[in-house]
Structure 1
Amino acid sequence: MAIPIGEVIAVSGVKISLRIFEDSNQETIFHDGVKYRGVSLREHLLIQRGFIDIVCLVEGEYLDERRLDEQAEKTTYIRKVDVRPIGYLIDGNFNEGVKYMPMIRDRASLLSEDIVGEIYGAEKGSNFTIGTMLKENVSISLPWTRLFNSHLGIFGNTGSGKSNTLAKLYTTLFREKVQGLRGKSKFVIIDFNGEYTEGQIHSGFDKGVTVLDSRKGGQKFMLESSHFWDADTLSLLFQATANTQAPFLRRVLTGREKYKDIPLHTYLVKTFERVFAASEPKPEGLELTREIARVIGSPALEKHLAEVKYNSYNKSFKAAEGHFYDSDGKSFNSFLRPFLSQHAKLDDLDKFDELMLRCYLQLCRDVVLGYAQYDHIQPVLARARSSISGLRNVLEVVDVPLPPYLLHVISLKKCKNDVKKILPMLIAKNFYENHKESEGLSSPPTKTLHLIIDEAHNILSEQSTREHEMWKDYRLELFEEIIKEGRKYGVYLTLSSQRPADISPTIVSQIHNFFIHRLVNERDLMLLDNTISTLDSSSKALIPTLAKGCCVLTGTAFELPMILKVEPLIKKYRPASDDVDLEALWATQENSEEDDVLAYDDLV
């Protein structure tokens, strides 16, 4: 039964004014055991237009004066509210959009909380609930099939509850659907602050946690060889110039692929022969062979080459043992060739050492043959040595990776800033390329990959000035490709950030659904206003004043924007991002320092 509370007195476009009856000012009304909320801001009302029930949202209220007699001193006030239609009910089913408009004197009535819950709870019979509507306190079942089939954005200032929302969303998914996920989907969390390394989200046998430490080493991310031996990736990692250094790296990789059946030791011996048996020896070649000895870690070879002198007069190399290395090759064949076989052991080289060795061997050949200038290529090798020293502690290049986990958390908390910029790109590219290759031309995709990036502004920002522009552009282009083209292959991004305005506008504009916590910065609010077409003005106005844990839900999965209060997870499953309890922290020191405090008081 409807409870009438007013009537329509004005209709102007989609703005409707109601006169509220004098006895309709209660905050809560119970009728036949059903709870109704009174008329106030952002409440829902029903206007009967014939057999159509128009659902409206209250956007404002005010008082209007009325005098029954011009001579009378008593003034009465009429309560009026402005409402906006958001949809209509036909046969108990809610339909979004403005199709019907009321007429003057149409009756308005209250909506029960159950009906409001049915309007916003899109999934009938589903139990995918992470919270309740803020005002109605009605549990809402989210449309999970449309949520996880889209790109998600979870934004909010620090302390607003976005980490709890992210954890609650995926914890509920794993709790409800974990059996169906196995073998069909993979979830990868790039965790900058180490918030999900314990029992958060999922604690089953198929959860893997990799804690990377670029300073001390330890656990390592398994990167496939095909993604490591890639010219574009190496050029960006080492900031190679486009005209000289990048083509040099391509020659290194091309030679590796072309002569993959030839042992690396044979390649080393042939290169040394070009240097020490050349018709016109070059001192740059000698210096490069010394670098090669350091790469392969041979003290005996290092000592021998350090004592070799270049004679510029007769253009030859003289060894400390007294023999000369010249174009006849006799000294090389009689001394250095067997010396290399004895002291240049290459069996224990890892992929990073192999890369540096191949680079120096290629540069040796290029310099001797006159294909490249030593001074032009040497800077990229210096940058490569610097980058590899950090990457070696966090990456292991493998030919065949281990089987993927259902949920893989990769923590970058203990990594240095320069490594934090590089690793997410390598990790995302590794998973994305593998998934795309495995899916091929399947339509629709048979499996899905979900990349979850916490604190996404760290790697998706256009504002960073501490990195090379080419590297930043490539990183952004990679994630822009994933968010624009990944849907075709079943790849979806979930981005969590406290500064959405710092993220590339191209990426934000491609997000389908948003969980927006409190944001107060004008740039952040302006970005949302320009990129989210489903965010209405009344919901946007609430964003700067939202309480902790409350968020605005809007996007393609929701028929209407709603304000949701997300239930906090218990401490065991909450992300490791709780605020410090100073009362408890400092209270532990009060008793132990009581004597010092009394002494201080006496002194004062």
Structure 2
Amino acid sequence: MNNTDYIVGAVKEIQGTSVIVRMFDDADQLSYFINGKRYSGVLIGSYIGIRRGQYLIIGLIEKESAIDNLNDIENRTFSKKRFIREFTLKIVGAFHHKKYIQGMVAFPQIFNDVVLLSDEQINVIIAGGKAENKEKSYDYLKLGKIWPIGIDYYTYWPNLFNTHIAIFGNTGSGKSNTLTKLYTSLFDLENNKKIDFGNSKFCFLDFNGEYTSNEVLSRKKDVLHFSTRKSIDDINEQNKFHVPYKIFWDKDLLTTIFGATEQTQQPFLSRVINFYFRKNNTFVNNLSNYIKKAFQEVYSSEANLDSLNLLKEILIDLDISYDWVSNWIRNSLVNKTTGKFYSYKALANWNPNNQKNQWFWNIDLINLDIEVDEVKKNIDLWEFIVGFPSKLNNPITQLQIATKLQMIHDLSSHTIQYDHLSPLLHRIEARSKDLNKVIFVESSDHSNSNTDRDIQVISLKNVNKDIKMLLPLLVAKVTYSEQKTSNGNHSKIFNLVIDEAHNILSDRSSIESEKWKDYRLDVFEEIIKEGRKFGYYLTIASQRPGDISATIVSQVHNYFIHRLVNDNDLKMLQNTLSSLDSVTRSTIPNLSPGQAIITGVSFEQPVVVQIDELDDSRKPNSSNTDLLSIWKIEK
């Protein structure tokens, strides 16, 4: 026996890549120390070696059996000597001249010696042949200890953070600790000046305010606390998410945000965008002309009370007095029988009816042109003396006004029915109140970031359900678009980290329209499919992977899987994770808190790791309430 080997058994049977080995009686310890080195014992889920000539073939232990020597079912006596232990192995690689090679390199033979492996050898196997001193190298991050053998586990971060990552696990399984441990370890390298992120960015979407504390993740982070509970006057521009002009005026995005129906409302909204917002910053400059045109359309056709009310609402939105523009507006009434405007007050160029003490507007284009010119002059004078309100600088307010202007035009030309479009107008007005509290639309096609720091946490704890659905979509769309256009030389990466990802990546939601769900999933599925080309990566964490789009889960590169017990979640993983064998997969429902199966393209072998627990000050705020401490009786 070689002084660096410890023979514990021999090969009994070979079935392709599956090998059955018979163990010696004394091979029953958890670990051994030989010549000052620690060797792992023979355990389910651990590795063992098979000596054949110049090869040390490596097998992963999958099954343990007890073989009855007597083979007599009538004899019911039990003794240790009666049974022989056998293990079933799966061949995963081999050492050849001390170099580890992944895969089928050599087959064992019956009676080949089975030997224990040292901690150093197991580390090389898990690392796929890399034998660096991981403890001293900053290229590796220590995440925990390999279970069940207890060896320190290091991951090679240059091959991890340029991939899509998924962290799954039920509540209390350690999912949030793993997410935080992973990124805290990376950020510590930058804080300790071991690495420099340069222009790379990390953005955390935090639904529950778990990562906002000063010590969590990194002290060198900016936290944006978005809120729909505050008054709009209490929220400044820097506490909003900045959206480039071109992205906001994307018709697909706006029709989705405001729930425009396909047949009538979507074409209408497209007309609004194409006419009023083809070019940046032209709407306000042309507003007096738009109002002049709207006034002309109201009074150049059959009297329509809806058109008149829309014109009044536009002036109210602009804080302009009706009488300043034209006394026609305040005094106009509609005779539903004749379809004409009338007034109880004398109005210039209106025809009097002395018997009823009324004045009627019989459409006279010459007189109308005179009044229209006065309207234009009055609005221009108002803008010069008083000025339009500052809220008009907000494109969302501009959209509200433009929608009313377009409705007046379409009503005058009889191309729409007011009842078909009024729900859209009401939705725009209702949702705009919340949108104005959380987004700021830039005047250019580039987003001026809220922060120059590498790490940003966006807290959605204090926003309502609609904004929790919308804002992550906007963040992803804006940051992905910026990364695509600015990273042609591959000089930076962008990592978008989404905790509680089932909130926005679900394909089973019943509280939203199909169009909204399709658009939302299209954005994130494009990122997961194409983001790697532009240095844009997702990290998603969820307690319900079965609810997440199968396309997204299947395109993830690396997985950290904590305890999951729901059948839908387990079936999702079975259908999407080809790197997990049946034995490893069967352990998922039985993992202890903090244990995770790590697998994916950056890892040579699936491995179960007990993730190190962070210090209390660095943990995310996701722990359970301690009832004993809050219900105890003070004595």
Alignment correspondent of 1:172: 185
> Structure 1 stretch 153-162 or stretch 342-351: which is displaced more?
342-351
Instruction: Quote how far apart the aligned CAs of 1:28 are.
Output: 2.5
Q: Of 219, 222, 227, which aligns to 1:208?
A: 222
The 1:67–1:382 alpha-carbon spacing in structure 2 relative to 1, beyond 3 Å, is closer
Verify: 1:146 aligned to 2:162, yes or no. no
Please report the RMSD computed on the Cα atoms of aligned residues, expressed in angstroms. Answer: 2.6
Alignment match, 1:386: 430
Q: Partner amino acid for 2:176?
A: S
Output the amino acid matched with 2:244.
Answer: E
Q: Secondary structure at the match of 1:175?
A: helix
Match of 1:528 in 2: 573
Question: In 2, distance between residues paired with 1:166 and 1:92?
Answer: 35
Q: Whole-Å Cα distance in 1 between the matches of residues 63 and 374 of structure 2?
A: 94
Q: Tell me the CA shift for residue 391 of structure 1.
A: 1.2
CA change 1:371–1:76 in 2 (3 A) is closer
The reply on whether 1:346 has 2:388 as its aligned counterpart is yes
In the other structure, the counterpart of 2:121 is 115
From 58, 61, 65, give the equivalent of 1:58: 61
- CA separation in 2, counterparts of 1:437 and 1:166? 29
- Matches of 2:146 and 2:213 in 1, distance apart? 30
Q: Quick one: which of 356, 364, 379 aligns to 2:400?
A: 356
How much does 1:451 deviate?
1.1
Match of 1:157 in 2: 170
Candidates 273, 295, 302, aligned match of 2:295: 273
Relative to structure 1, is the Cα distance of residues 150 and 402 closer, same or farther in structure 2, using a 3 angstrom cutoff? Answer: same
Shift in alpha-carbon separation, 1:267–1:525, aligned structure 2, 3 A: same
Does residue 103 in structure 1 map to residue 123 in structure 2?
no
Could you tell me how far 1:103 is from its partner in structure 2?
0.8
Aligned partner of 2:332 in structure 1 is: 308
Whether contact under 8 Å (2:216, 2:617) holds in the other structure is no
Partner SS, residue 572 of structure 1: helix
Q: Which residue of 1 aligns with 2:93?
A: 87
Partners of 2:614 and 2:487 lie apart in 1 by: 35
* Greater mean deviation of Cα atoms: 389-398 or 21-30: 21-30
Distance in 1, matches of 2:70 and 2:405, equals: 98
Structure 2 residue 448 is the aligned partner of structure 1 residue 399: no
SS across alignment from 1:81: strand
* SS of equivalent to 2:396: helix
In 1, the alpha carbon distance for the partners of 2:178 and 2:188 equals 15
Deviations 1:476-500 (A, max 9, x none): 0110011011111111111100000
Q: Does 1:230 align with 2:269?
A: no
Name the CA distance, whole Å, in 1 between partners of 2:299 and 2:48. Answer: 93
8 Å Cα contact 2:296-2:368 kept in structure 1: no
Instruction: Please give the alpha-carbon distance, in whole angstroms, between the structure 2 residues aligned to 1:279 and 1:457.
Output: 52
SS across alignment from 2:259: coil
Distance 1:431 1:446 in 2: 16
Cα separation, partners in 2 of 1:99 and 1:322, compared to 1, 3 Å:
same
Distance 2:370 2:5 in 1: 106
Which residue of 2 is the match for residue 220 of structure 1?
A: 240
What one-letter code is carried by the residue in structure 2 that aligns with 1:158?
T
Q: Which residue number corresponds to residue 9 of structure 2? A: 6
Indicate conservation of the 8 Å contact 1:171/1:200, yes or no: no
Q: Does 1:194 align with 2:218?
A: no
The match for 2:314 among 289, 292, 310 is 292
Give the gaps of 5 or more residues in structure 1.
595-604
Match of 1:484 in 2: 529
Q: Does residue 422 of the first structure (1) align with residue 478 of the second (2)? A: no
**Residue type matched to 2:295 in 1?**
E
SS of 1:446's partner is coil
Tell me how far 1:534 sits from its aligned partner: 0.5
Query: Which of these residues, 10, 18, 40, is aligned with residue 15 of structure 1?
Result: 18
1-structure distance, mates of 2:331, 2:368: 19
Aligned counterparts of 1:297 and 1:92: Cα–Cα separation in 2? 82
Residues 300 and 266 of structure 1: is their aligned pair in 2 closer, same or farther, counting only changes over 3 Å? closer
**Structure 1 residue 578, shift from structure 2 partner:** 1.3
| 1:158–1:307 distance in 2 versus 1, CA, 3 Å | farther
Q: Which moved more, 1:191-200 or 1:342-351?
A: 342-351
* Native 8 Å contact 1:311 1:318 kept in 2: yes
Deviation at 1:375, TM superposition (A): 2.6
Q: 2:196 & 2:247 partners in 1: Cα distance? A: 27
C-alpha distance in 1, partners of 2:222/2:419?
Answer: 45
Distance 2:398 2:202 in 1: 32
The residue matched to 1:419 in structure 2 has which SS? helix
The residue aligned with 2:29 is 26
Quote the residue 1:600 is aligned against.
Answer: none
Letter in 2 for 1:40: L
**Corresponding residue to 1:332 among 371, 387, 399:** 371
**1:474 Cα offset (Å):** 0.5
Alpha-carbon contact 2:159-2:602 (below 8 Å) kept: yes
Return the letter of the residue paired with 1:194. G
User: Could you tell me which residue of structure 2 aligns to residue 46 of structure 1?
Assistant: 49
Aligned residues of 1:274 and 1:368 also touching (Cα < 8 A): no
How far apart in 2 are the matches of 1:276 and 1:62? 89
**Residue of structure 2 equivalent to 1:467:** 512
CA–CA distance in structure 1, aligned partners of residues 551 and 372 of structure 2: 61
For structure 1, which segment, 42-51 or 300-309, has the greater mean C-alpha deviation from structure 2 after superposition?
Answer: 300-309
Q: How far apart are the structure 2 equivalents of 1:192 and 1:550?
A: 24
1:202, distance to aligned residue in structure 2 (A): 4.3
Q: Which amino acid aligns with 2:119?
A: E
Describe the SS at the equivalent of 1:426: helix
Aligned to 1:409, the other structure's residue is in SS state strand
Question: Which residue is 1:436 aligned to?
Answer: 484
Equivalent residues of 1:301, 1:343 under 8 A apart: no
Task: Name the CA distance, whole Å, in 2 between partners of 1:162 and 1:138.
Answer: 21
State the match for 1:452 in structure 2: 497
Q: CA deviation at 1:467?
A: 0.7
Instruction: Name which of 583, 588, 607 aligns with 1:538.
Output: 583
Q: Distance in 2 between matches of 1:448 and 1:68?
A: 64
Classify the secondary structure of the residue corresponding to 2:28: coil
Conserved? CA contact 1:43–1:57, under 8 Å: yes
User: Relative to 1, partners in 2 of residues 1:311 and 1:26: Cα closer, same or farther, differing over 3 Å?
Assistant: closer
Aligned to 2:346: 322
CA deviations 1:255-297 (Å, max 9, x no partner) are: 2245754723323332233235415443332121122123223
Taking a change above 3 Å as real, the CA distance of residues 51 and 460 of structure 1, as seen in their structure-2 partners, is same
Aligned length: 584
Deviation at 1:365? 1.7
Q: 1:583 aligns with which of 603, 611, 628?
A: 628
Cα distance change, pair 492–136 in 1 and its aligned pair in 2 (3 A) = same
* DSSP 3-state at the match of 1:128: strand
The percent of aligned pairs where both chains have the same amino acid is: 35
Q: Distance in 2 between matches of 1:78 and 1:523?
A: 39
* Contact 1:96/1:560 (8 A) holds in 2: no
Query: Which stretch shows the higher mean deviation, 272-281 or 352-361?
Result: 272-281
